[in-house]
Amino acid sequence: MTAFATDAFAGRTVLVTGGGAGIGESAARGFAQLGADVMVVDITDGAERVAAEIGAMGARSRAARIDVTSEAEVGRMVEECLEAFGRIDVLVTAAGGFTHRVPLVETSLEEWEQVLRVNLTAVFLCCRAVLPDMLSRGRGSIVNVASEAGRTVQHLTAPHYSSAKGGVISFTRHLALEVAGRGLTVNAVAPGVTLSPRIKDLYSPETLEIMAGRVPMGRVAQPEDQADPIIFLASDQARYMTGVTLDVSGGRVMM
């Protein structure tokens, strides 16, 4: 396998949800460095910041502040991307997460449903929304961001988040099978703990040190460690891979 050419994604449009911080931001920047036009989507003003910084690099980028749990807003997101760039070649669903750990007995129905909406329903909505354009052209790549929490059991997560990310992996496989003969690939990454702003807020330095000690490679991930596998799965170099979940966890998960 050869290294990526600097224009590997030239002429392609990449839409990244959760692109305003963390893994999504790093992926958006990585695609732009390889020549892509990038639509940066986030519910926060981080989308505008990242898009502006990508533009300053000389790449074309546009921001959209979108709630990816809203069917109407996801539809608007796709319309704006097609209006700006004329096509969607790659979708990366990096939006997600949870705000605090809670045992199941203390989990309210409202919280359960909210975490599933953000981490699983949003993936469904975004994938469904981009499919018409991709299918009409017979080409496209979708990379869903799952989690090691969806691959194995661990104490330092929460039941709603683990369930949602496990659902992302199953959804990815089903969609991959559904569109495999139509020129599209659908894959996922399952990151281990990654030092995004959300993770830094969620866990204390002491807890992060414990987590790092449980990783065979001896450290937790940086966002860039997750962005490169995402870019690979969206690239021509992964053209014969679909329905795959890459474990990017420093050896924590080995399947």
Q: Is residue 250 part of a domain?
A: no
Give the amino acid at 128: R
The overall longest dimension of the chain from CA atoms, in Å, is 51
Rounded to the nearest 5 percent, the helix, strand and coil shares of the chain are 50, 15, 35
DSSP 8-state class, residue 98: -
Q: Using an 8 Å Cβ cutoff, are 140 and 183 in contact?
A: yes
Q: Is residue 251 part of a domain?
A: no
CATH of the domain at 184: 3.40.50.720
In this predicted structure, the answer to whether residue 47 has a pLDDT above a threshold of 90 is yes
Arithmetic mean of pLDDT, 115-125: 97
For the CA atoms of 136, 43, 154, 212, the dihedral, rounded to the nearest 10 degrees, stands at 110
DSSP 8-state class, residue 2: P
More confident residue, 100 or 145: 145
Arithmetic mean of pLDDT, 190-199: 78
Q: Using an 8 Å Cβ cutoff, are 18 and 93 in contact?
A: yes
- Total tally of structural domains belonging to the chain: 1
Arithmetic mean of pLDDT, 227-246: 97
State which residues form the domain around 39.
13-245
Q: Is residue 1 part of a domain?
A: no
Q: Is residue 7 part of a domain?
A: no
pLDDT tens digit string along 175-190?
999 999 999 999 999 9
Tell me what pLDDT residue 141 has.
98
Q: Is residue 86 part of a domain?
A: yes
Contacts of residue 238, defined as CB under 8 A and 6 or more positions apart, other chains included, come to 141, 185, 187, 232
Q: Is 161 an annotated catalytic residue?
A: yes
pLDDT tens digit string along 68-106?
999 999 999 999 999 999 999 999 999 998 777 788 999
**Predicted TM-score (pTM) of this structure:** 0.92
User: Could you say which of 161, 165, 223, 250 is catalytic?
Assistant: 161
